[in-house]
């Protein structure tokens, strides 16, 4: 058989056309991509269950395989072999059964960590960070959480619902192995209640609004991020400005920009080990231009590259 060129338009849409691992018990990789097509935590505009599939599809455009990616700004090759990235497919989801879904998410992420790989997770709404957080106990060390988001996500409950997409940071703060927190990109009138902000501050979380981030610059933001050995990144794509990420459930003007966010992520990776990350709330049906899913795919690739470049 003659050589296959494996162009983006051909083949199966794994993330960036990386190899597929169908059995996590046989996982051998540095980074494991995992989709979580779940959006039962959304109270208004649903649809981010479609995020993982569309991010995968557009990510094939950027596939480079073992050759990796050339960084023109730093004259270096990133994510080249022998670094190994695989796509583990999607968590088994049963919509309508929250308990089953959360247990499934936790189990998949926990098994990835047990296999020594770094989980790179595509949501799905932001409530998925709650079962991911439960699985982070597998790391066995204190973890700092850095959140990029227009919203604080510190709601205690809405009636009896304590596991919605407005509550993940509150739930993580209740886990004894989660240490310090920092929220970057906060904005918008009414995005969270005053008492939620007060509770987050009482916990010790560092709150950086989008306006402040623009004023103090990347280095100013990095100077405020709590220092630690291990970090988990939770990237809500609505942290980006609506002009580059309109395909979200809660778009908001006045947000962050691509180079700004990726430079901050680079700085965090220099500070310590990033033990995993999620990118959530991509709702592709609200963006016919496909800009949002491209921003999502490139954010994930950049984060993977920086994790591996600075891995301690």
Give this prediction's pTM. Answer: 0.96
User: Is the CB of residue 143 less than 8 Å from the CB of residue 183?
Assistant: no
Distance, in Å, from the CA atom of 213 to the CA atom of 222, rounded to the nearest integer, reads 10
- The encoded tokens of residue 46 equal 């649903």
User: Which phi and psi (to 5°) does residue 26 adopt?
Assistant: -110, 15
What DSSP character marks residue 179? E
Helix (H, G, I), strand (E, B) or coil at 88: strand
Tell me how many degrees the CA angle 248-252-257 measures, rounded to the nearest 5.
Answer: 85
CB count within 10 Å of CB 77 equals: 14
Helix (H, G, I), strand (E, B) or coil at 166: coil
- The encoded tokens of residue 114 equal 């047990």
Low-confidence stretches of the chain (pLDDT beneath 70): 1, 190
User: Which phi and psi (to 5°) does residue 100 adopt?
Assistant: -60, -45
What local confidence, expressed as pLDDT, does residue 1 receive?
Answer: 63
Alpha helices (runs of H) in 164-253, residue ranges in sequence order:
168-173, 194-203, 210-224
What local confidence, expressed as pLDDT, does residue 8 receive?
Answer: 82
3-class secondary structure per residue, 8-19: CCCCCCCHHHCC
Distance, in Å, from the CA atom of 80 to the CA atom of 94, rounded to the nearest integer, reads 36
What DSSP character marks residue 34? E
Q: Which residues contact 127 (CB under 8 A, 6 or more apart)?
A: 38, 40, 41, 163, 164, 165, 167, 168
Of 262, 275, 263, 261, nearest to 308 (Cα)? 275
Distance, in Å, from the CA atom of 280 to the CA atom of 164, rounded to the nearest integer, reads 13
Distance, in Å, from the CA atom of 236 to the CA atom of 246, rounded to the nearest integer, reads 13
What local confidence, expressed as pLDDT, does residue 297 receive?
Answer: 98
Q: What is the pLDDT of residues 105-145, one digit of tens each?
A: 999 999 999 999 999 999 999 999 999 999 999 999 999 99
Helix (H, G, I), strand (E, B) or coil at 255: coil
User: Is the CB of residue 90 less than 8 Å from the CB of residue 35?
Assistant: yes
What local confidence, expressed as pLDDT, does residue 157 receive?
Answer: 86
What local confidence, expressed as pLDDT, does residue 192 receive?
Answer: 82
Distance, in Å, from the CA atom of 215 to the CA atom of 149, rounded to the nearest integer, reads 17
Q: What is the pLDDT of residues 277-308, one digit of tens each?
A: 999 999 999 999 999 999 999 999 999 999 99
Q: Is 99 left (phi over 0), alpha (psi -120 to 50) or beta?
A: alpha
């Amino acid at each position: 058989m003659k050589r296959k060129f494996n162009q983006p338009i051909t083949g199966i849409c794994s993330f960036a056309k990386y190899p597929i691992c169908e059995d996590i018990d046989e996982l051998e990789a540095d980074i494991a991509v995992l989709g979580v097509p779940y959006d039962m935590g959304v109270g208004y505009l649903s649809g981010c269950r479609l995020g993982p599939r569309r991010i995968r599809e557009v990510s094939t455009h950027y596939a480079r395989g073992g050759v990796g990616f050339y960084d023109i700004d730093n004259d270096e090759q990133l994510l080249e072999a022998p670094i190994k990235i695989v796509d583990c497919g999607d968590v088994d989801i049963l919509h309508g059964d929250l308990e089953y879904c959360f247990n499934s998410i936790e189990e998949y992420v926990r098994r990835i960590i047990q296999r020594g790989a770094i989980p790179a997770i595509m949501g799905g709404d932001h409530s998925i960070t709650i079962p991911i957080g439960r699985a982070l106990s597998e790391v066995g060390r204190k973890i700092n959480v850095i959140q990029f988001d227009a919203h604080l996500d510190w709601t205690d409950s809405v009636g009896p619902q304590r596991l919605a997409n407005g509550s993940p940071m509150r739930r993580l703060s209740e886990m004894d192995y989660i240490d310090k927190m920092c929220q970057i990109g906060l904005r918008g009138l009414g995005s969270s209640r005053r008492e939620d902000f007060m509770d987050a501050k009482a916990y010790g979380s560092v709150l950086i609004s989008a306006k402040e981030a623009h004023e103090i610059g990347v280095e100013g933001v990095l100077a405020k991020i709590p220092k630690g050995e291990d970090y988990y990144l939770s990237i809500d794509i609505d942290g980006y400005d609506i002009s580059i990420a309109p395909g979200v459930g809660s778009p908001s003007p006045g947000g962050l920009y691509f180079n700004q966010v990726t430079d901050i992520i680079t700085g965090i990776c220099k500070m310590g080990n990033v033990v995993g990350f999620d990118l959530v709330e991509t709702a592709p049906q609200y963006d016919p231009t496909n800009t949002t899913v491209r921003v999502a795919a490139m954010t994930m690739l950049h984060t993977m590259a920086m994790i591996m470049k600075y891995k301690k």
